[in-house]
């Protein structure tokens, strides 16, 4: 054998061994939380890098797990609803909450579960006003059904998942996973729950003020002068969000899947900002249409509304104790697991002693919207004081 051929053989062998070595390390450390390897405390138990690839990894894990109950939503449910809550009793539950997910993405995930998960018995789906908003000029969208029918082939799936194990990026994440085992960084559990450790870290080091100011400023940037609406002027039907929701309800009913719909709780400051930005009338109109729509499409199903003003959502921020965590909220739009447990108790009819949920229906809507207006007025002075302390200009 010539020297050239020996060199090529050694090079190829070294390359293959390197790839296998990288793959072996990444498989064992499992930085993105695919949960295909043993977990060892202090080495790879805490998946601190999992949040970086959550859209891909959660899809893989939920398909492998085939849970009986799936929670659908955005980062609010990912942080707020614990699949290991005792309220779920013996059920296998997966939190499919995806940070920043659009309504279309969320409903597509729900439809995929109905179609492919033979163990599925119950879908718990959160509804957020902002997810229903579109520009006034919106006239056509790609529906979840369109995306569901465009199934990925094996080559696409392979190309998506290979970098999770055979890449230098994954190796870098594996190293970071080992180095941050003891850090207070958010982790995604094997059941999709985000433990919110990053919020704890921010509050303990910087206080609550940066969290509240950043979230409210972000909401202002997203909505201010954008002229958004749940029902765009050019849309002939109920609005794109409702068209998607109708698809989900129809599929759930046809497949005899229990479907629970609810509106997330918001801190009063979040709702006050909607009012300041001119979205309060549209928000109330969205609730009214949602009540009528669900009652018409899904007559036997309650629509739970946790967004009202109550002792939980009116919780004082208390910036005079900046590093003391709030009891029910992390910041204006993300509620804590403790509030999530109360929410689940009512959603699952586990004899709740707390009147947190309101049933949104055609019969109750006028009273509930009046309660919302009263709550807004009652928290106006608190809001003005909070804006001043946060240095928010509106």
pLDDT at 316: 97
What does pTM read for this prediction? 0.87
* Minimum mean pLDDT range among 3-12, 247-256, 301-310, 368-377: 3-12
pLDDT at 156: 60
Cα(9)–Cα(305) distance, rounded to whole angstroms?
A: 66
**Which residues on adjacent β-strands are paired with residue 171?**
none
Banded model confidence at residue 169, pLDDT cuts 50, 70, 90 = confident
* Minimum mean pLDDT range among 71-75, 320-324, 357-361, 373-377: 357-361
- Tens-digit pLDDT profile for residues 212-267: 999 999 999 999 887 888 876 666 677 788 888 999 999 999 999 999 999 999 99
In contact, 103 and 132? CB cutoff 8 Å: yes
pLDDT at 103: 93
pLDDT at 160: 63
**What's the rounded mean pLDDT across residues 324-338?**
97
Average pLDDT, the chain: 86
- Tens-digit pLDDT profile for residues 20-60: 777 777 777 777 777 667 777 877 777 777 667 788 889 98
Residue 371: how many other CB atoms lie within 10 Å:
15
pLDDT at 46: 75
Domain definitions of the chain by residue range: 54-156+182-390
Cα(131)–Cα(240) distance, rounded to whole angstroms?
A: 10
- Tens-digit pLDDT profile for residues 63-80: 999 999 999 999 999 999
Instruction: Say yes or no to pLDDT of 279 above 60.
Output: yes
Banded model confidence at residue 139, pLDDT cuts 50, 70, 90 = low
pLDDT at 52: 72
pLDDT at 147: 56
Higher pLDDT, 135 or 122: 122
Banded model confidence at residue 153, pLDDT cuts 50, 70, 90 = low
Winning range, highest mean pLDDT, from 26-35, 107-116, 146-155? 107-116
Instruction: Say yes or no to pLDDT of 158 above 90.
Output: no
pLDDT at 378: 98
Cα(308)–Cα(264) distance, rounded to whole angstroms?
A: 10
Banded model confidence at residue 157, pLDDT cuts 50, 70, 90 = low
Higher pLDDT, 27 or 385: 385
Cα(300)–Cα(35) distance, rounded to whole angstroms?
A: 38
**Which residues on adjacent β-strands are paired with residue 123?**
70, 259
Banded model confidence at residue 174, pLDDT cuts 50, 70, 90 = confident
pLDDT at 379: 98
pLDDT at 299: 73
Banded model confidence at residue 345, pLDDT cuts 50, 70, 90 = very high
């Amino acid at each position: 054998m010539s020297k050239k051929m020996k060199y090529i053989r050694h090079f190829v062998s070294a390359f293959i061994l390197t790839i296998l070595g990288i793959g072996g390390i990444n498989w064992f450390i499992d930085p993105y939380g695919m949960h295909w390897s043993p977990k060892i405390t202090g080495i790879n138990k805490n998946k601190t890098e999992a949040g970086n690839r959550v859209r891909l990894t959660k899809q893989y894990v939920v398909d492998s797990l085939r849970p009986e109950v799936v929670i659908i939503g955005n980062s609010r449910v990912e942080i707020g609803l614990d699949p290991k809550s005792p309220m779920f009793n013996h059920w296998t539950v997966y939190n499919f909450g995806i940070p920043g997910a659009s309504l279309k993405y969320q409903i597509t995930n729900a439809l995929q579960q109905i179609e492919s998960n033979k163990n599925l018995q119950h879908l718990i789906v959160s509804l957020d006003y902002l997810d229903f908003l579109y520009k006034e000029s919106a006239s056509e969208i790609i529906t979840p059904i369109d995306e569901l029918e465009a199934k990925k082939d094996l080559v696409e799936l392979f190309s998506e998942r290979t970098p999770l194990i055979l890449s230098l990026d994954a190796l870098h994440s594996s190293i970071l996973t080992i180095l941050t085992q003891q850090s207070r960084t958010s982790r995604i559990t094997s059941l999709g729950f985000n433990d919110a450790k990053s919020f704890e870290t921010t509050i303990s080091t910087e206080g609550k003020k940066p969290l509240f100011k950043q979230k409210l400023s972000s909401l202002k940037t997203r909505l201010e002068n954008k002229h958004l609406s749940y029902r765009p002027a050019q849309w002939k039907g109920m609005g794109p969000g409702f068209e998607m929701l109708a698809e989900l309800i129809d599929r759930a009913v046809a497949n005899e899947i229990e479907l629970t719909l609810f509106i997330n709780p918001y801190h009063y400051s979040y709702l006050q900002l909607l009012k300041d930005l001119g979205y309060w009338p549209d928000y109330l109109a969205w609730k009214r249409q949602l009540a009528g729509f669900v009652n018409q499409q899904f007559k036997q199903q309650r629509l739970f509304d946790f967004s009202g003003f109550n002792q939980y959502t009116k919780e004082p921020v208390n910036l005079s104790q900046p590093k003391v965590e709030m009891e029910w909220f992390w910041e204006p739009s993300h509620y804590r697991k403790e509030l999530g447990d109360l929410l689940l108790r009512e959603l699952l009819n586990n004899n709740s002693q707390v009147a947190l949920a309101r049933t949104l229906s055609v019969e109750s809507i006028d009273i509930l919207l009046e309660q919302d207006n009263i709550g807004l007025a009652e928290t106006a002075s608190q809001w003005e004081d909070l804006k001043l302390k946060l240095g928010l200009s509106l």
